[in-house]
Amino acid sequence: MLNRWRGVTPEPGAHATLLEPDGEGERVKLLALARSGAEPIPPGSAQLAGRTAIVGTGSAPLELLEVQPAGKRPMAGADWLRGRGGTATFATTMSAPGTSGIATSEPGTSATATPARGGAA
């Protein structure tokens, strides 16, 4: 997933969609990611590991260094996750163009990061 994120950063950018209990998804732009030495967690799950925010992928977890929630300014990933209660769940697949997951540049594929459309999230 990290290599897919690098492939679309800085342009067009990558985003992820949060899975909310009401079925609506909030879009979050992924501005900075890094490999994490944390224990593996399920793909799409995000949680705090000490002072860092990590997200599970199909292989090794990644650290969310900087994110930008829709309509807000960029912020540290750990600060954003703390504001959400310390956990979040991201969609991990895409079913059609215009739907969201966590990052892939090819709509309709199963993956973990989706290019952002347009400018800021």
For domain 2-94, give the CATH superfamily. Formyl transferase, C-terminal domain (3.10.25.10)
Task: Grade residue 49 by pLDDT with cuts at 50, 70 and 90.
Answer: very high
Structure letter (DSSP) for residue 26: -
Closest CA to 16 of 82, 85, 104: 104
Closest CA to 55 of 28, 74, 25: 28
d(CA 39, CA 86) in angstroms, rounded, equals: 16
d(CA 65, CA 1) in angstroms, rounded, equals: 15
- Tell me which of 90 and 115 has the higher pLDDT: 90
| pTM over the 0.95 mark | no
d(CA 26, CA 11) in angstroms, rounded, equals: 21
Spell out the residues 6+ positions from residue 44 whose beta carbon is closer than 8 angstroms to its own: 19, 55, 56, 89, 90, 91, 92, 102, 112
Section 56-68 average pLDDT: 91
Q: Provide the percentage of residues in the chain whose pLDDT is more than 90.
A: 36
Round the average pLDDT of the chain to a whole number and report it: 75
Q: Provide the percentage of residues in the chain whose pLDDT is more than 70.
A: 65
Task: Grade residue 26 by pLDDT with cuts at 50, 70 and 90.
Answer: confident
